[in-house]
């Protein structure tokens, strides 16, 4: 079973414009949709479409609309009762795939609600292969919450993945001795911040076809205890680094329609492949196939297995052995 944890879920409202977004102008939309969202919720939705045994843990009041949306999507949910309403996030997409997001902060969690959320996670960790901790944190949870949960989950025997940003990601990175997850999924900007390097430098290197700076940045995290780093790089694909090797996957050419949920879909693809017994290159291949599949769909739609194409994703080994890494002077 896969347990996804979304401390700050949302109703994702997506509007599609027929032309370019102009600040200060009045626009008419060509389509609009609303879906249950939040990063962990998106992972759960993608896994449910693939028939993977999944439960989504999130805070929500008994009759919050997000619960009806998840039921319609076929996602098993454990909702921790809270007083506040789930936030609404707005995404504006343009014909060329450009995405503008406007996110609410989320309802404040009380101390009792936060404790109940943590208990709900640990109660399900015993039977989980993966616990996926994803997204921003709502007001009321400290930036260290993900690091604290990783440390708490260590004795449970499950694998733990984390996909977050900003202060929660910085807090986790500062506490890897205690709370290194089995999988960390940053994007290029987040990876640059973790490694203390320029995001522009990483992106410039990628534009030249040079994955070395990305691999070295990810390798630093693995050397500090992270089991594997799945760095999603947009149109450049993704890099996977673990103790045994480094791999690059390049996606097929697609016409991007919306980037909403693409990174979450990549994480779902990785976890799905690992749970099926796939090795690292195949996990990366499925991750990139899922991410590309999501980017080719409108709004916040997520891909089913029929909408991904593994054969179109090329995976190559960047550096294959510890000896090769040492010979290149990697930290």
Higher pLDDT pick, 299 / 12: 12
Spatial contact of 93 and 1, defined as CB atoms under 8 Å apart: no
Residue pLDDT, tens place only, 61-100:
999 999 999 999 999 999 999 999 999 999 998 988 788 9
Per-residue pLDDT, averaged over 130-153, amounts to 97
Q: Tell me which DSSP letter residue 184 carries.
A: E
Q: Tell me which DSSP letter residue 187 carries.
A: B
The model's pTM is: 0.91
Neighbours of 209 (CB within 10 A): 9
CA atoms of 175 and 59, how far apart (whole Å)? 26
CA atoms of 111 and 138, how far apart (whole Å)? 12
Higher pLDDT pick, 187 / 319: 187
The whole-number pLDDT of residue 197 equals: 84
CATH number of domain containing 248: 3.40.1190.20
- List the beta bridge partners of residue 58: 79
**Looking at the predicted structure, is the pLDDT value of residue 324 above 50?**
no
CA atoms of 131 and 128, how far apart (whole Å)? 7
Neighbours of 126 (CB within 10 A): 10
Per-residue pLDDT, averaged over 103-122, amounts to 96
Q: Tell me which DSSP letter residue 328 carries.
A: T
Tokens of 208: 């030249």
Higher pLDDT pick, 199 / 110: 110
**Looking at the predicted structure, is the pLDDT value of residue 192 above 50?**
yes
148 is catalytic: no
**Looking at the predicted structure, is the pLDDT value of residue 322 above 60?**
no
What percent of the chain is predicted at pLDDT more than 90?
79
Burial class (CB in 10 A: 0-12, 13-18, 19+), 154: middle
What percent of the chain is predicted at pLDDT more than 70?
96
Q: Which of 64, 163, 242, 264 is catalytic?
A: 264
Q: Flag the least confident range among 100-104, 176-180, 202-206, 278-282.
A: 202-206
Of the pLDDT bands very low, low, confident and very high (cuts 50, 70, 90), residue 319 is: low
Of the pLDDT bands very low, low, confident and very high (cuts 50, 70, 90), residue 310 is: very high
The number of folded domains in the chain is: 1
**Looking at the predicted structure, is the pLDDT value of residue 328 above 70?**
no
Per-residue pLDDT, averaged over 229-255, amounts to 92
Per-residue pLDDT, averaged over 279-305, amounts to 92
Q: What is the DSSP string of 158-175?
A: -EEEEE--HHHHHHHHTT
The whole-number pLDDT of residue 111 equals: 97
Domain, as residue range, for 82: 2-327
Of the pLDDT bands very low, low, confident and very high (cuts 50, 70, 90), residue 329 is: very low
**Looking at the predicted structure, is the pLDDT value of residue 34 above 80?**
yes
Q: What is the mean pLDDT of the chain?
A: 92
Per-residue pLDDT, averaged over 308-315, amounts to 94
């Amino acid at each position: 079973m896969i347990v996804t944890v979304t401390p700050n879920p949302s109703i994702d409202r997506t509007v599609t414009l027929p032309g370019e977004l102009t600040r200060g102008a009045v626009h008419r939309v060509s389509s609009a949709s609303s879906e249950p969202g939040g990063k962990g919720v998106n992972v759960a939705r993608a896994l449910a479409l693939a028939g993977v045994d999944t439960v989504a843990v999130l805070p929500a009041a008994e009759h919050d609309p997000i619960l009806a949306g998840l039921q319609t999507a076929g996602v098993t949910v454990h909702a921790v009762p809270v007083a506040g309403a789930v936030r609404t996030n707005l995404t504006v997409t343009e014909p060329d795939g450009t995405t503008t997001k406007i996110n609410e902060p989320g309802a404040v969690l009380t101390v009792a609600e936060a404790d109940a959320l943590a208990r709900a996670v640990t109660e399900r960790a015993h039977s989980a292969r993966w616990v996926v901790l994803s997204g921003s944190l709502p007001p009321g949870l400290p930036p260290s919450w993900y690091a604290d949960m990783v440390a708490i989950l260590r004795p449970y025997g499950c694998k733990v993945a984390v996909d977050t940003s900003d202060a929660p990601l910085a807090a986790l990175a500062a506490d890897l001795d205690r709370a290194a997850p089995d999988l960390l999924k940053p994007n290029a900007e987040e990876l640059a911040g973790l490694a203390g390097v320029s995001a522009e430098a990483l992106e410039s290197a990628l534009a030249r076809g040079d994955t070395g700076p990305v691999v070295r940045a990810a390798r630093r995290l693995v050397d500090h205890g992270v089991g594997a780093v799945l760095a999603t790089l947009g149109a450049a694909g993704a890099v996977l680094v673990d103790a045994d090797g480094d791999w690059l996957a390049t996606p097929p050419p697609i016409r991007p329609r919306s980037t909403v949920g693409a990174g979450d879909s990549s994480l779902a693809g990785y976890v799905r492949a690992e749970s099926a017994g796939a090795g690292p290159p195949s996990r990366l291949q499925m991750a990139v196939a899922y991410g590309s599949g999501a980017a080719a769909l409108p709004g916040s739609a997520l891909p089913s297995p029929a909408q991904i194409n593994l054969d179109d994703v090329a995976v190559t080994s960047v550096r294959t052995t510890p000896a090769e890494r040492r010979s290149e002077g990697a930290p």
